[in-house]
């Protein structure tokens, strides 16, 4: 029974663009390679003066490489788990593989709907949509929306937020 509740049956989920996988993979791989290479270089620098320290840094570099490979392997599935749904009174955002998270943002509580486009996202035609409410912990982000969908969704959410606030 709890499984049905978490899946929120009957709600048509919209997904983010599959092109988001590429931006996330590039980020993960660049950061992972830099950290791994830095650890290996430190290990090489200490090889002559302190072999134990060199071994420790080499092992840390190896661990960083393994973690990078695991994160990169799970990135496509993690991106596919991100979705959103517009319901009557709120926007529901879901994400997560092992620990699923469902966030419902009431339209009347939205104070800001922001679109941001990074350089890699612009090259792929993707935008991030961010929603801010009065509560500090409800800053919700929808990454990897196609630019046209992000603009349309922003306008739609702003209109719904304004109409709901008038009724308060």
pLDDT digits (tens, 9 = 90+) for 106-140: 888 888 888 999 898 899 999 999 988 877 666 78
Does residue 69 share a domain with residue 91? no
Domain that holds residue 41: 20-78
> Considering the domain boundaries, does residue 74 fall inside one?
yes
**pLDDT, position 88:** 84
Q: Is the pLDDT of residue 12 over 90?
A: no
Cα–Cα nearest to 6, from 78, 106, 111, 81: 81
Does residue 130 share a domain with residue 144? yes
**pLDDT, position 89:** 85
Q: How far apart are the C-alpha atoms of 10 and 49, rounded to whole Å? A: 65
Length of the chain: 168
Does residue 65 share a domain with residue 89? no
Does residue 115 share a domain with residue 58? no
> Considering the domain boundaries, does residue 9 fall inside one?
no
Rg (CA), the chain: 21
> Considering the domain boundaries, does residue 5 fall inside one?
no
Q: Which of 44, 62, 78 is the last residue of a domain?
A: 78
- Rounded to the nearest 10 degrees, the angle between the axes of helix 51-80 and helix 20-45 is 180
Q: How far apart are the C-alpha atoms of 146 and 20, rounded to whole Å? A: 9
Q: Is the pTM of this model over 0.85?
A: no
Total domains in the fold of the chain: 2
Beta bridge partners of 106: 90
> Considering the domain boundaries, does residue 7 fall inside one?
no
């Amino acid at each position: 029974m709890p499984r049905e509740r978490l899946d929120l049956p009957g709600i048509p989920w919209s997904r983010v663009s599959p092109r988001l996988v590429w931006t996330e993979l590039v980020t993960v791989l660049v950061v992972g390679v830099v950290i791994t290479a830095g650890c290996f270089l430190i290990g090489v620098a200490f090889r002559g003066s302190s072999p134990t320290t060199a071994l420790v840094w080499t092992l840390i570099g190896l661990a960083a490489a393994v973690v990078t490979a695991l994160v990169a392997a799970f990135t496509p599935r993690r991106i596919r788990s991100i979705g959103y749904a517009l319901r009557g009174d709120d926007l529901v955002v879901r994400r997560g593989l092992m620990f699923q998270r469902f966030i419902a943002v009431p339209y009347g509580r939205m104070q800001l709907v922001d679109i941001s486009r990074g350089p890699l996202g612009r090259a792929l035609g993707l935008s991030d949509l961010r929603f801010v409410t009065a509560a500090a912990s409800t800053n919700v982000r929808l990454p990897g929306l196609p630019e046209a969908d992000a603009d349309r969704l922003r306008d739609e959410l702003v209109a719904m937020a304004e109409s709901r606030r008038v009724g308060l």
